[in-house]
Each structure stands twice: as structure tokens, then as C-alpha cells.
Copies of this chain bind each other. A is one copy, B any other.
Amino acid sequence: MNDIDIEGLKGIANQLRIHSINATTAAGSGHPTSCCSAADVVAALFFGHMRYDPKNPHFYNNDRFILSKGHAAPLLYAAWAETGLFPTEDLLKLRQLGSDLEGHPTPRLPFVDVATGSLGQGLGVGVGMALCARLDKLDYRTYVLLGDGECAEGAVWEAASLAGIYQLNNLVAIVDVNRLGQSQPTAFEHNLNVYKKRFEGFGWRTEEIDGHDIDELMEVLAAVGLGSQPLVILARTLKGAGISFIQDKEGWHGRPLSKEEAVRAIAELQPSARPGTGRSIPTPSQLPAPNNAAPAGYPPLAYKLGDAVATREAFGNALLRVGGADLRVVAMDGDTKNSTYSEKFFKKFPDRFTECFIAEQNMVGVATGFGARGKVPFASTFACFFGRAFDQIRVAGISMANIKLVGSHVGVSIGEDGPSQMGLEDLALMRPIAGSVVLYPSDAVCTEKLVEQMAMHKGICYLRTSRPKTPVIYNPDEQFPIGGAKVVRESPGDKLTVVAAGVTLFEALKAADELKNAGIGITVIDAYSIKPLAKDVIKTAAQKTNQTVVTVEDHYAEGGLGDAVAGELSADGIKVHKLAVRELPHSGKAEELLAKYGIDAAAIVAKVKSLT
């Protein structure tokens, strides 16, 4: 690093600019000016500073790079093309259906760990990666490139705060302060001091530089890792830098150059442009690889039928049991660990637990970061507070992230705390996440078995747990495959099928008893897997019971179990009647609320009687 070819790096920056312009002009859309402002930073990082194997972007000790300002995707693609990973000609396929060089980066590309494009999310993921490096005793660093506009997102400050608290000196943020947002200048334009004071207040070391000065860039990068604080480099830049007739001008966000403008721009840039190919890139150290192998299995359970255990507590037991056998398992919580019972894991395995404090967006980002590094992260909080992180979860879906979310305190059955603490929309939120698995156990055995499978399943899984204690109804050797359902009550001549999950399963069983006494048989199904739904199990039962199903759920009527069943089965002519919470609930005792909102045994009995 003593003999840095500054002119070469400057040349590469211009080469990256040229690629970004050509690609977006060819595509007819995109953000070339947002690429140009960050081109020098990216050239310095990729061709003079970061330690990685350009032929193997997944190497476990490569420095990581997250383009939080995902709209500068063409710049990232250009950098990797210039390392030689793929032909630079491919850059002209930007944004085409046939190319994975999409409008914003996704992990369909081997050099992208996580999707970006929804602003303000990269730093939280970076925190997770930096924590993971520390856990794995690896010396890779994580670099996150942010725009200045996205620093308005609270998620950035949640991440900044946690990085400061945990003194992540292996984390480096670079803010491309190009002064111009999408629709107007940013609030602070080139006043770097505002950002400096903020990051300092959040526990960071700060460096203010001219983001187009490679000398300065290399100088501050040389001091990465010094001290105990995370480092933010505040880079004063010009949007469209290098294009004399565009740079620092408003009205150029998300707008490609015309062909003629591109020719003019490239004429300015070409003379000093230099290729990146062939440059030697600092190599990562050869430290021992982390052991991210799945275990052969998990220890057995020890519940007895009839034990009263809340599923939230069963989750805590499961996390401890599964996490004891599976070293990939890490956990995080948002200062609710004594309620979600993730505390059991925290007490036994503090090194693998991250207290994220009351900052759910960042907690999901941290989980996504761990997941991208081969771990199996379980993040838990009250179900309703995962709504805070919905956008992070959505983007985790685009990232095809391997994260496990566990939401407790669902529905009106939490009782007295009232509606602000009741998860009544979580199924509706989690079902549309791309590739998600949504699970909702009723008893402790089912909960434990589902947690095992969550650990083994690659992808986003959501587990919905309940506050009240419920009896164990399954034997410890029962299996609960993802996508399954259990027929828990069935007799010849049943009039209809009740599909329930969680606390309402027990209401359905009570209703079945009562109806049986009245001479009405019903089939009862435990739909513990909401997505994928055991369509065939329910359909088979419905076909034996007058094509009629009643769903009952401690969730609003929209987007939950009832809609899932109706959406899957109505095409087959199955009649689906929904019992669900249909108004804004009130504080009260759990049993009072189940009754008031029409999802208790009495409501099921009344509904069944009205249909038979």
C-alpha cells in the first residue's frame, strides 16, 4: 500500500463513470449521476484498498461491500466487471429481463450479499456482518456506501447507534454527500459538519474529505480499523462529477443521458480513463474458516401431554435446545427478551446474542447481515413491532435472506395491554414476503419442532407465538413438516371443518366438545403452517364435510388465516366462513376479548349452528 498508483485509480474512476453512463443510456433509465459522485470512492475501495479475491466474491474472509445507495447499481456492476469477474460488454444489458444486472442490486449476482434500493438499510446489515466477523474471529471489514439523502432514514441512526455501542471498528461507512436528492437539494447540502456531529454523537470516528480526491481517500482508508470506534468517511462530492455540463446540477436524479449527451460526457472522461483489469488487489488473510455446518440433529423434547406452556416460552426453550446443538444459531432481540423468552438463549450463549435495544428495523438488518454470513439468526420481539421493520423484511425477501423472525404477544389474547401491543396484522404482513414461510403453533411440542425446521430451512421464516399458556396436545415424537396441518378431531358424518391455529385451536376443540353433545360433529384442523398452507389436508377434510370450512383466528379478518384458506380453496368451490377480529379491540381480560370479538368457543358454536 506504500506505492499507490493515484493516477491509475483516478483513471479507473473515470472508466467506471463511462460504464455507468453507457449502461444507463443503453437502458434508457437509471441513475448515472448518482454513480458519478461515488466513482472515486468505489475505485479507491475496489482497486486500492479492500482485501478480497475478485475471482471468488463469496470467499469467507473477503472484505464486504454494501451499496446502501442501491440506485448507483451500475457503478457497482462496473467495478466488478473491471475486476474481471464478467465481461464489461455485459454492462450494456443493464435492466434487461435477460440480465441479472438489475435496476438495483440483488443477490442473484454472486458479488451482492443483500438487496439494496430501499434507502437507509445497508448500514444495519453491515452492523450484522461486522458483529459476525467478530464472532467468527475473522478480520474482514465491512464497507457500507450510503447516500446523503438516505441519512434522513431513522434506520441509519439505529444502526449507527448499535455500531457505536458495540464499538465496531471493523465497520466503515462512507457517505457520498453529493448535496442533491431526488426532488430537491438535501436538507444539509454540503454542510458536512452536520453529519460529523451526528455520527460523533452516535459514537463514531469521523473523517471529512473531498470525495473526488483519491489521495485523501487513500489516506483516510489507510487508517481504517484504528481505535475502537466505527469509522465514517464523509465524502464531499458532486452529483454527476466528471461531466462538466451536468455535475452539481438539479434535475438529474434518475435520468440517463441522451445518446448525444453521453457522447459529450464520455469525450470528457475518456482521455484519463484507465482499466481496472489486471491490477493487483490486496488479498484477504487466510484465517480459519468459520464452521457453519448444520448439525446432524437436535436433542429430544421433554414435554408431557397436558403441560401448560405458552408457545412463546416453548420458543425460548427451543432456541436454547436447538441453539445448543447448532453453532450457526445466533439470536437478537429488541429489549423484550424476558417476554419473548429469547433470554434463555442469551443467558446460556451471550456471545451469540445481540441485544439490539428498541430498534426493530436495525434488528432485522443485523439478522440479515448474520444470515448473509452463513449464520442462522433468530430475531424476536412482540409480533406487532415487526411491523416497524416491514420494509427491512420485504427487502430481506428480495435478498433471499436466511433469517428467522419470532413474534410474540399476538392477538386480543394478550389482554390488558390493549391494541397497541396486539399483533393483529402480522400474518397479513408476513404472507406476501417473497419466499416466506409463516408458522403458527398451538402447543409447545409443535413450537419446538417448528423451530428445528426453521433452523434447517434456508429462507425467511416467521413464527407466531402466543402469550397465554396452552396445554401440550401433541406427543414429543409428532412431526410437523413445514406446509403441513394436523387433523386433530374428526368423525364420520362431521358437518363442517373448523380450521384454527394458536389459541383458537383450543377454542375450536372446546366448541367441538360442546357441539358433539348437541349431536353435531365437526372436523378440527390445526393449521400450524399458514404459508405454505396444507391446502390438500384442508380440502380433503372439506370435501368430507359439505364443502364447508370455518376459519377462526386471533388476527384481523384481512390477510390472515381466513384469507389464506379462502384464497387457496375457493377455486375448488369450498365455502369458507371467517371468524376473525373485525373491529379495533379494547383492553380487557383475554377470555373476555376472545368472546367480545367473536373468536371463542361460543362464537364457533354459534357459527357452526348457523351453518348446519
Contacts and interface: CB of A to CB of B under 8 A. Distances in A.
Contacts of A89: none
A357 B564 CA distance: 37
A126 to B, nearest CB: 15
Contacts of A106: 418-420
Interface stretch (A42-50, A262-270, A421-429, A474-482): A421-429
Contacts of A398: 419-420, 584
A569 B361 CA distance: 37
Interface in A531-568: 531, 547, 555-560, 562-564, 566-567
A572 B576 CA distance: 8
Interface string A112-132: 000111111000000000000
Contacts of A563: 558-559, 563-564, 566-567
A161 to B, nearest CB: 6
A197 interface: yes
Nearest to A203: B194
A95 interface: yes
Contacts of A30: 416
Size category of the A interface is 35 or more
Contacts of A184: 335, 355
Nearest to A198: B201
28 contacts: A28-B416, A30-B416, A100-B586, A103-B418, A103-B420, A103-B587, A106-B420, A115-B419, A117-B418, A118-B385, A118-B388, A120-B358, A152-B161, A152-B358, A153-B359, A154-B154, A181-B357, A183-B339, A200-B201, A384-B394, A387-B394, A425-B429, A434-B556, A434-B584, A559-B559, A563-B567, A570-B576, A571-B576
Contacts of A385: 118, 391
Interface in A397-440: 397-398, 400, 415-421, 424-425, 428-429, 431-435
A573 interface: yes
Interface centre among A333, A388, A556, A570 (most CB of B within 10 A): A570
